[in-house]
Amino acid sequence: MGTGIFTKKWPYRILLLFLFLSIYSMALSPGITTGDAGELTSAAMVMGIPHPPGYPLWTLLARIFSLLFPENPGFGTNLFSMIVGIASILLVFEIVSFDAPYWFSSLVATNIGLFPQILNYSTITEVYSLTIFFFLLLLFLYKKGYSFLLNYALGLSLGVHPVLLIPFLVFIPV
């Protein structure tokens, strides 16, 4: 199973990347949608605080994407959710491939990426796609044994969503 950067995983990674780039870009909302999208986009534009708990890391990262499209900041924050959603799918592939064949890992990642809630959160402005990404990142770093990076990501994850306090309490002894 190769140990370098160019392993036999790359065709699967590239296939997943392009598959979900095409699917999610077709489903991507062109602007602000219902729910918290307006409030979150406004907070990203002015570096404000959306409703509690505030989501400071999401606001900082979404600000960058909202500046890329000043005429339609909602599209920028939706694009941010899409990129984070695709990164989450790639993390699922990496986590499953620790213990399973690559073809099976890509099948699992594809099924999770096509799950309706994941597809929805990855194509609209919402904090859940970044929350899912950080949960998977914490799991990936834990399984790889990167304790320094895990602790750094644990600290960052507390600025994403309070639900990530649970993995914080589980992984902190590492």
HEC states along 35-93? CCHHHHHHHHHHCCCCCCCCCHHHHHHHHHHHHHCCCCHHHHHHHHHHHHHHHHHHHHH
Using CA atoms, how far apart are residues 5 and 154, in angstroms rounded to an integer?
Answer: 25
Q: What is the model's pLDDT at position 44?
A: 93
What's the mean pLDDT in 9-18?
95
Q: Which residues contact 144 (CB under 8 A, 6 or more apart)?
A: none
Instruction: Give 6's pLDDT tier (boundaries 50, 70, 90).
Output: low
- The overall average pLDDT reported for the chain is 92
What's the mean pLDDT in 156-167?
89
Closest by CA to 78, choosing from 34, 117, 52, 41, is 41
Q: What is the model's pLDDT at position 51?
A: 85
Instruction: Give 34's pLDDT tier (boundaries 50, 70, 90).
Output: confident
Instruction: Give 55's pLDDT tier (boundaries 50, 70, 90).
Output: very high
For the cut 60, the answer to whether the pLDDT of residue 11 exceeds it is yes
Q: What is the model's pLDDT at position 5?
A: 59
Q: What is the model's pLDDT at position 29?
A: 93
Please, what sign has the CA dihedral across residues 31, 125, 56, 156? negative
Tell me the percentage of the chain whose pLDDT exceeds 70.
94
The domain ranges of the chain are: 10-171
The string of pLDDT tens digits covering residues 67-81 is: 999 999 999 999 999
